[in-house]
Structure 1
Amino acid sequence: MRRFLRRLVAAAGLLLAFTSYGSAAGIQHHLVIQVDQNDRQTMDFALTNATDVVAYYRSINQAVVVEIMACGPGLHMLREDTSPVKERIKHLIKIPPPSKIQFSACNNTKESMEKKEGHPLELLPGTTVVPLGMVRLMELQEQGWSYVRP
């Protein structure tokens, strides 16, 4: 009987340890960073902030999703032909789960630029086009996402 109780207590302890670890690993934090300037320094600052946030939450065994949403002149940061940080972005979208950095682009801005320039725009791989950047920001904040604008 004693042996059984010891095994039961040991099994319960292991279960508690794994459950606690699993819970910590499953916590999701959400941050959206708006980039609305065609400025490398601003985008580098946003990318550094995103990278630092991911590193911090990894260090405490928690997950985070960071979205960088580009609109207006900031859309240049996610364009294949004009982004001065495209190699850095291509590296960041490969961050292994559970945390990730994702990129979104305002379709309203994209269509406006396409009309003005007279050709379709090619965005960086992994960029999600959203109908309207401001609506995206609003909806993410309504879902509890934290919002930052560098």
Structure 2
Amino acid sequence: MMKSGNTVGVVAWVIALFIAVPPSAVAQEKTLATPPSVAAQPKARVAPSSATKHVATAQSKGPAAAKSHRLILQVNANDPAMMNLALNNATNVMQYYKDLGEEVKVDIVAYGPGLHMLRDDTSPVKTRIKTISENSPSISFEACGNTRENMSKVESKEIPLISEAKVVKSGVVRVMELQEQGWSYVKP
């Protein structure tokens, strides 16, 4: 049977692991809450959790260690609202990390009907993309070559892309490869 003094100490340790209170503060709290007969017993050593180690590591790096972030935004629908949402997401993420002094790269990958976002003849957002590209060179736009080729066959003409678009062989494969390299993925 566990004594109530030990229960308080165990609860304090569990709470400390979740809120990253230094173990010395928990030990002081436990000593105050533990009756003298229990306090005289040898104390069990508790290994820090991975969360505690993570907090300690982050604190030891300090503010000088700027993080780098990478985000993929997928656009696969010919929907101006979705296209604008993707552009909003990209610019908001860029501003957020800029304010923190951290680097970020954003790749907007368009395929399927979403390729209209990057088509020079049909894009409802090409003016906005031009402005974003001029102000945020860390945002890139990638067009699916497979989709472009299929659209070209269906429309019997070459599909013109905006100058900011870079053609990749496959948009889906590009998203997969970036995720395999550790990029975060968002579909607006």
Say yes or no: does 1:101 pair with 2:154.
no
**Structure 2 partner of 1:80:** 120
- The whole-number CA distance in structure 2 between the counterparts of 1:115 and 1:74 is 17
Change beyond 3 A, Cα 1:50–1:96: closer
Change beyond 3 A, Cα 1:94–1:65: same
- The whole-number CA distance in structure 2 between the counterparts of 1:67 and 1:86 is 16
- The whole-number CA distance in structure 1 between the counterparts of 2:171 and 2:120 is 19
Say yes or no: does 1:129 pair with 2:167.
yes
**Structure 1 partner of 2:91:** 51
Q: SS of the counterpart of 2:134?
A: coil
Q: Write out the 4+ residue segments of structure 1 that deviate beyond 2 Å after TM superposition.
A: none
The CA deviation at 1:96 is 4.7
Letter in 2 for 1:120: E
Which structure is higher in RCO with an 8 Å CA cutoff and minimum separation 6? 1
Return the structure number with greater strand share. Answer: 1
Letter in 1 for 2:171: G
- The whole-number CA distance in structure 2 between the counterparts of 1:39 and 1:96 is 23
For 1:23-62, list aligned pairs within 5 A. 23-24=65-66, 27-62=67-102
**Structure 1 partner of 2:149:** 111
**Structure 1 partner of 2:185:** 147
- CA RMSD after TM alignment: 1.5
Q: SS of the counterpart of 1:128?
A: strand
Q: What is the identity percentage for the equivalent residue pairs of Structure 1 and Structure 2?
A: 52
Q: SS of the counterpart of 1:42?
A: helix
Q: TM-score, normalised by structure 2?
A: 0.65
Do the aligned partners of 1:95 and 1:101 also contact (CA within 8 Å) in 2? no
Equivalent residue pairs, number: 127
Give the unaligned 5+ runs of structure 1: 1-19
Which protein is bigger by CA-based radius of gyration?
A: 2
Greater alpha carbon shift after TM alignment, 116-125 vs 49-58: 116-125
The CA deviation at 1:28 is 1.8
Letter in 1 for 2:146: N
Q: TM-score, normalised by structure 1?
A: 0.81
The CA deviation at 1:95 is 2.5
